[in-house]
Chains A and B, each alone.
Chain A
């Protein structure tokens, strides 16, 4: 780097600011907003073209998606119900994202959490509220355990955590599938009124379900409030706590953090365990909340919520407020896809729209980043 070798008078470094004036903040914000809108529009346009090419009507599809997520009576309650686990998974992911540890196995951690929570919820007797609390705690612990395997292997043998978390998803789904096949684990006892006795757990009893709030015909479980509180807590942790600062330090530059006395192993493991616990908790909330699987655990129960929660965190760039907003829109897409059947277009199109939106939302920050780099580079070039 030649500019570092040449000693420069201090006055000269102020010069480039004068020659290339920094663009106004307002204009920058306008450009960014325009880019976001443009990219979202492009994603929707591509989805519309795909629908149109296969002979569907894109107007009908979008209006069905809107109806299903917001407009039709009782639907935004459904959207909130779906958003709850997404937010919880994403908040956990945000924590390990800050710490620079990669966890992409939320789907598996969520399944383990649900499986253990089901066992507790169905087998444990006693007063309802106690069972609910136990079930949520056990779910979180199970998720943490499943993520703990990955972090243990990472710090013990330096096995890449991307790989282990990913592979453990399938293992989790096979194990819970097995548990749903044997009587002494999760399989519901045989009853005359049900002809199919395949891989389904007993239903949670009435008093072990989370209470539901009803606002103008939209009902959602009470956990929605707790989840918003959780987002606030994570936000404060990131902004105001030493712990959050150390996490961020570790994520930005592990070596500097180590020199400053932040143990990579300790904080990395913590981040991973919390992230897994959040995924497990999300599973337990799904089970006891009632918006998924009607209080029963089945092999397809997780239904990509773990993956989607991960995408929520990545799109929201690990920001708690962004997570709540993005989770609500993703949940809307999922709730809306239930209304697609009437339009004659396959419901998989909602997956396509979702993925295109994710890709589209990646573009503006990347372009802004590159522009900033270019500006910085040209500024240094002017100086030398």
Chain B
């Protein structure tokens, strides 16, 4: 047991841990920001995983075609929105079951991405690191926050922007109304399903960008298992955060840190079982949600389709 605590101590004082945590958390945050907006409007958007994966492949493809990280990220965003358009129109125009649509989309995107990946085999590489002078010298966390591949920095302005959009604009108010009580929102003249579709589009944009960041900022190349369930962890982060921007970002940082622990423990010389450590983020997620989620309240119409005149 003493060995365990000294291992934790070694990891906590290691700068690499924070760097890794930040990189994992950034991906989760890209996806979770959009998911927060979608869930506030009442969609439990399972296809988040597919959006990130689509963005990841599109990012690699864009880089392959033009050798430019920027174009790759734009490709990623567009494909994320494309996946979102299917989810949005199927579940909030046709009012098909949103879980079925989401699951089918995840399968579809994985199928298309791995199919095209083997037939095109895009070549890509990670973007260069960009050190922000001055602030990057802060001990322990300076490196983690301000010496990262440059696509990561896109997440910083996105957090306040999403908050402002959701809590300080008329559109955001309508989105929240639609997620809480669609009948009342409908009566007061808001197009419920339109707002829901728009919020899913935003989820597609941000998580597509997240996928692009994953390939072009973090890993450097596309593989089929590159996302590996992190879209689902982002959904967990939203629930963990109690549907508030602050809580969601906290959740992303927590899950990112757990994930980073897994990778840094072996490098500081502590042997732990790799399978059980890989399961750790998921177990931690379940445990934390169990003990914290009940303090918050989900959007009341979450995962309920809206059809005028029904209920």
Contacts and interface: CB of A to CB of B under 8 A. Distances in A.
B66 interface: no
B289 A171 contact: no
B65 interface: no
A284 B99 CA distance: 27
Interface stretch (B89-97, B145-153, B166-174): B89-97
B286 interface: yes
Interface residues of B, number: 51
Nearest to B102: A104
B115 interface: yes
A20 interface: no
Contact of A370 (B95, B110, B235): B95
B114 to A, nearest CB: 5
B307 to A, nearest CB: 6
Given A159-B293, A366-B94, A359 B103 contact: no
A349 B115 contact: yes
Contacts of A174: 275-276, 278-279
B293 A354 contact: no
Interface in A10-65: 50, 54-55
B285 A167 contact: yes
What is the interface of chain A mostly: helix, strand, loop, or mixed? helix
A163 B104 contact: no
A86 to B, nearest CB: 14
Q: Which of B105, B282, B293, B303 has the most CB of A within 10 A?
A: B282
A38 to B, nearest CB: 15
Interface residues of A, number: 50
Given A157-B290, A170-B282, A359 B86 contact: yes
A175 B280 CA distance: 11
Interface string A152-182: 0100011110111011101100110110010
B270 to A, nearest CB: 18
A130 interface: no
A233 interface: no
Contacts of B275: 174-175, 177-178, 181
Contact of A349 (B100, B111, B276): B111
Given A102-B99, A167-B285, A352 B112 contact: yes
Interface stretch (A201-209, A264-272, A306-314): A306-314
Nearest to B112: A352
Interface of B: 44, 46, 86, 90, 94-97, 99-101, 103-105, 107-108, 110-112, 114-116, 118-120, 229, 232-233, 235-236, 239, 273, 275-276, 278-279, 282-283, 285-286, 289-291, 293-294, 298, 303, 307-310
9 contacts: A159-B290, A160-B298, A164-B286, A167-B233, A178-B273, A307-B107, A314-B97, A355-B107, A363-B96
